[in-house]
Amino acid sequence: MKKNYLFYISENYSFQILRPLQKEILARGDEVKWYVAGSKVNVDYFNKDESVVGSIEDCVDYNPVAVFVPGNMVPSFIPGIKVSVFHGFVGWKTRQKDNVNYHFIIRDCFDLYCTHGPTSTAPFKQLEHKHKNFSVVETGWCKMDPYFKETPKQRAEKKKKIVLFSSTFSPRLTQAPALKEKIMALSEQGKYHWLITFHPKMSAEIVESYKAIQHDNLTFIETDNLVPYMQQADVMLGDYSSMITDFLVLGKPAVTFNNDGFITGLKNVESIDELESAIDDALTYPDEMMNVINRYASAAHPYRDGQSSSRVLEAVDSFLNYNPVSKRKPLNLIRNLKARKSLNYWRL
């Protein structure tokens, strides 16, 4: 019997995360629809063959068996089990609320957490034991499947190494303003080709300032699919961007700038004057750095088979057939009322 699945999204990064899962769902002969919550998603990113639900009422009437969410919240009144696939790796971000890393905050929204690897699975397993109202299964991250299944596209320019610069949006953590002049100067030297991409929430002012300095050796990227650019890049420069972990999982070197929580053995630069030499060194793939990267990647995401989407669906099937949860979630009346108000949904 055909199963209905729903993707509940609120940010542009959701496309790259969920499309590998969509591909697996359709390959199994099942159906998937998307619902856009809020106004931050660029609907032009939808492909013509993708089905978008027009209203929250249609979401309920669609009656999905499972709702996949790359964000933190999803309304409880939508049918189906709620599945968190996360919007990024744990990485080394230490932002906390009430002394809890944001990645591990339980908001009583989800029935199933599909974790990426040991660094996320172990803490969530402890939370599963504590709360007893959700299940945790390590599946790997569906977003990473194309990196291990798709053949990298040939680069138009093979002589120059490609540096990918990604920066987080947080005004407190982003190093994009501090690095702009140096990146522009290095790009004008012509030694490397620079690709620039930012978190979708990056301030428009910073985005426009980088767009303004584009030339033959510096390209600003706005896309719903970074896979080919990540595959082409030889080294990554970042601050606290979660994309650094994605890049390390691919077994590639990265350099961080002013990241006070950097991984020991990964090159962190605190002076702009050291940036060029740090990038040059990383491009030699030094043994010490690569050993650190390989250990880190194995802990964050040990799967290299491109089958994480399949494991996610198997985890959902297992939950539906053998519900392991022993306790009901808290009612969370205030949160649910807020969700209904924001979506203007009052049907019981």
Give buried/exposed letters for 62-85 (b at 16+ CB in 10 A, else e). bebbbbbbbbebbbebbebbbbbb
- What's at 21, amino acid-wise? L
Whole-model pTM above 0.85? Answer: yes
pLDDT surpasses 60 at 90:
yes
Report, in angstroms and rounded to the nearest whole number, the Rg of the chain calculated over CA atoms: 21
pLDDT surpasses 60 at 318:
yes
Would you state the structure tokens that stand for residue 194, as one six-digit string? 């620079």
Q: Residue 262's pLDDT is what?
A: 66
pLDDT surpasses 90 at 200:
no
Q: Residue 155's pLDDT is what?
A: 53
Mean pLDDT calculated for residue range 62-85: 95
Distances (CA, A) of 119 to 19, 127, 134: 24, 14, 19
Lowest mean per-residue pLDDT among 13-17, 174-178, 266-270: 266-270
Report the share of the chain in percent with pLDDT over 90: 70
Mean pLDDT calculated for residue range 296-306: 94
Bridge-partner residues for 198, per DSSP? 167
DSSP conformation letters of 226-275: -HHHHHH-SEEEESS-THHHHHHHTT--EEEES-TTPPTTSEEE-SGGGH
Q: Residue 127's pLDDT is what?
A: 93
Helices (H), 43-109: 56-62
Rounded-to-integer distance, Cα 215 and Cα 209, Å? 13
pLDDT surpasses 70 at 24:
yes
Containing H/E element for 34? strand 31-36
Q: Kindly report, residue by residue over 41-50, the tens digit of the pLDDT.
A: 999 999 999 9
Distances (CA, A) of 108 to 74, 139, 281, 318: 10, 21, 46, 20
DSSP character at residue 54: -
272, 155, 264, 230: which is closest to 221 by C-alpha?
230
Token pair 């690897």 is at which residue? 117
Give yes or no for a contact between 83 and 112, defined as CB atoms under 8 angstroms apart. Answer: yes
150, 192, 159, 184: which is closest to 280 by C-alpha?
192
Backbone φ, ψ for residue 145 (5° rounding): -55, -50
Q: Residue 93's pLDDT is what?
A: 54
- What's at 81, amino acid-wise? I
Containing H/E element for 289? helix 287-300
Give yes or no for a contact between 162 and 191, defined as CB atoms under 8 angstroms apart. Answer: no
Rounded-to-integer distance, Cα 336 and Cα 346, Å? 11
On the 0-12 / 13-18 / 19+ scale of CB atoms within 10 A, 331 is exposed
